[in-house]
């Protein structure tokens, strides 16, 4: 177990299968390699080209081999191999390290899922460590690398790092758009016909928004730290691009706050609807109780055990009492109706 600043990180099981993909390029050429042996990554160091080493699947042995050769500090390697880390940025011994989560939306579960990714920026090198080999958000970057005239091919490793952070943040908006659609549908359901299942849906969506916000705020701080950094790995011309990512993450955070406010209002609306229905039920019960009150009073009076009761032995006494029991509630109904009580 590795203790962080705010929580204890769980121990990760080593992945049985690890896929290593290398993109080695300059402005003129691009080489793509899928390597089976970790040591094959070493020949790309200090070759005067930009190298992106992407590792899918976290295995401590492989992380240590690559980290040791490329000068990654043991503390950073421990962060890479740990789970449930808070997004952060560190600068250690000439290495710029970013840890954050890639977010995905699972339409079947209606849930926000996340995958931890570590981005290591070194001299002319970017190394990424991902948990899941089956999905990531970097395909647009791969396509740009295959285009000879793309800006990505013309710039350095820091621009590649920016591109990764930018596309991860942009994918947050896709997740938020899916959540926004769910919120709109749920809002219509609350207005139209809400029940106990609706409350469960509201609670579920609020939890997903908490997961979203838990990732947005630290990433905002992460990008801000990069902008304030004076690391030699970051060219001055690239910092303005990080400013654009910072603007995007602030926008995403503001949007998540709006969603949170909508969910709070929706929960209040649900509670108001429940109270309104309860009031309608209580009003009907109160009216029924009032209408039965005259019959109860009349029946109670004539049911007392006294020898002398007026009209007790009158042949029309029973019919008079029943008539009173019917007429008085009718008069009460007319009065209630005129006053608009129902």
Q: What is the pLDDT of residues 262-298, one digit of tens each?
A: 988 888 888 888 888 888 888 888 888 888 888 888 8
SS3 letters across the chain: CEECCCCEECCCCCCCCCEEEEEEECCCCEEEEEECCHHHHHHHCCCCCEEEEEEECCCHHHHHHHHHHCCCCHHHHHHHHCCCCCCEEEEECCEEEEEEEEEEEECCCCEEEEEEEEEEEECCEEEEEECCCCCCCCHHHHHHHCCCCCHHHHCCHHHHHHHHHHHHHHHHHHHHHHHHHHHHHHHHHHHHHCCHHHHHHHHHHHHHHHHHHHHHHHHHHHHHHHHHCCCCCCCHHHHHHHHHHHHHHHHHHHHHHHHHHHHHHHHHHHHHHHHHHHHHHHHHHHHHHHHHHHHHHHHHHHCCCCCCCCCCCCCCHHHHHHHHHHHHHHHHHHHHHHCCCC
Residue 316: per-residue pLDDT = 77
Residue 46: per-residue pLDDT = 85
**What is the percentage of the chain residues whose pLDDT exceeds 90?**
46
Residue 271: per-residue pLDDT = 84
Residue 74 has pLDDT above 70, yes or no: yes
Mean pLDDT calculated for residue range 245-255 = 94
What CA–CA distance (Å, rounded) separates 47 from 125? Answer: 10
Residue 2 has pLDDT above 60, yes or no: no
23: left (phi over 0), alpha (psi -120 to 50) or beta: beta
CA-derived radius of gyration, the chain: 35
- Burial label for 121, CB within 10 Å (0-12, 13-18, 19+), is buried
Nearest CA to 290 among 328, 338, 339?
328
Nearest CA to 130 among 92, 168, 156?
168
Residue 267: per-residue pLDDT = 86
Q: Locate CATH 1.20.58 in the chain.
A: 283-338
Nearest CA to 101 among 77, 136, 72?
136
Mean of the per-residue pLDDT values of the chain: 87
Residue 116 has pLDDT above 80, yes or no: yes
Q: What is the CATH code of the structural domain delimited by 2-272?
A: 3.30.460.20
Residue 196: per-residue pLDDT = 79
* Whether CATH 1.20.58 fits 283-338: yes
Residue 57 has pLDDT above 80, yes or no: yes
Residue 130: per-residue pLDDT = 93
CB 166 within 8 A of CB 141: no
Q: What is the pLDDT of residues 140-165, one digit of tens each?
A: 999 999 998 889 999 999 999 999 99
Phi/psi for 77 (5° steps) reads -65, -35
Residue 1: per-residue pLDDT = 30
Residue 10: per-residue pLDDT = 58
More confident residue, 197 or 170: 170
Q: What is the pLDDT of residues 14-53, one digit of tens each?
A: 888 899 999 999 999 999 999 989 999 999 998 889 999 9
Nearest CA to 165 among 111, 121, 213?
121
Listed in sequence order, the residues at least 6 apart from 108 whose beta carbon sits closer than 8 Å to its beta carbon are none
Mean pLDDT calculated for residue range 66-87 = 91
Q: Locate CATH 3.30.460.20 in the chain.
A: 2-272
Q: How confident is the model at residue 136 (pLDDT cuts 50, 70, 90)?
A: confident
Q: How confident is the model at residue 120 (pLDDT cuts 50, 70, 90)?
A: very high
Residue 3: per-residue pLDDT = 33
Residue 11: per-residue pLDDT = 64
């Amino acid at each position: 177990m590795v203790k962080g600043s705010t929580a204890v990180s769980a121990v990760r099981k080593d992945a049985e299968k690890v896929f290593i993909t290398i993109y080695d390029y300059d402005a003129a050429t691009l080489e793509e390699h899928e390597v089976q042996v970790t040591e094959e990554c070493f020949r790309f160091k200090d070759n005067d080209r930009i190298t992106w080493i992407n590792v899918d699947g976290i295995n401590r042995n492989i992380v240590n081999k690559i980290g040791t050769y490329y000068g990654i500090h043991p503390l950073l390697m421990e962060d890479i191999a740990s789970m449930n880390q808070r997004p952060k940025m560190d600068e250690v011994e000439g290495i710029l390290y970013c840890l954050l989560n890639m977010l995905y939306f699972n339409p079947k579960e209606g849930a926000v899922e996340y995958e931890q990714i570590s981005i290591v920026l070194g001299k002319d090198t970017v190394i990424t460590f991902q948990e899941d080999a089956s999905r990531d958000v970097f395909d647009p970057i791969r396509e740009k690398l295959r285009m000879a005239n793309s800006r990505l091919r013309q710039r350095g490793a820091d621009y590649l790092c920016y591109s990764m952070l930018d596309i991860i943040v942009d994918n947050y908006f896709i997740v938020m758009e899916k959540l926004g659609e769910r919120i709109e549908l749920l809002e219509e359901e609350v207005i139209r016909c809400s029940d106990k299942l609706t409350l469960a849906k509201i609670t579920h969506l609020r939890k997903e928004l908490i997961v979203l916000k838990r990732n947005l705020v630290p990433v905002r701080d992460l990008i801000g730290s990069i902008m304030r950094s004076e690391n030699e790995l970051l060219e001055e011309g690239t910092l303005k691009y990080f400013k654009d990512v910072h603007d995007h993450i602030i926008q995403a955070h503001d949007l998540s706050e709006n969603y949170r406010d909508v969910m709070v209002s929706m929960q209040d609306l649900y509670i108001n609807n429940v109270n309104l229905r309860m009031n309608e039920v209580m009003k009907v019960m109160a009216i029924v109780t009032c209408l039965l009150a005259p019959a109860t009073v009349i029946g109670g009076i004539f049911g007392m055990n006294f020898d002398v009761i007026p009209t007790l032995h009158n042949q029309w006494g029973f019919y008079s009492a029943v008539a009173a029991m019917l007429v008085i509630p009718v008069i009460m109904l007319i009065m209630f109706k005129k006053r608009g009580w129902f």
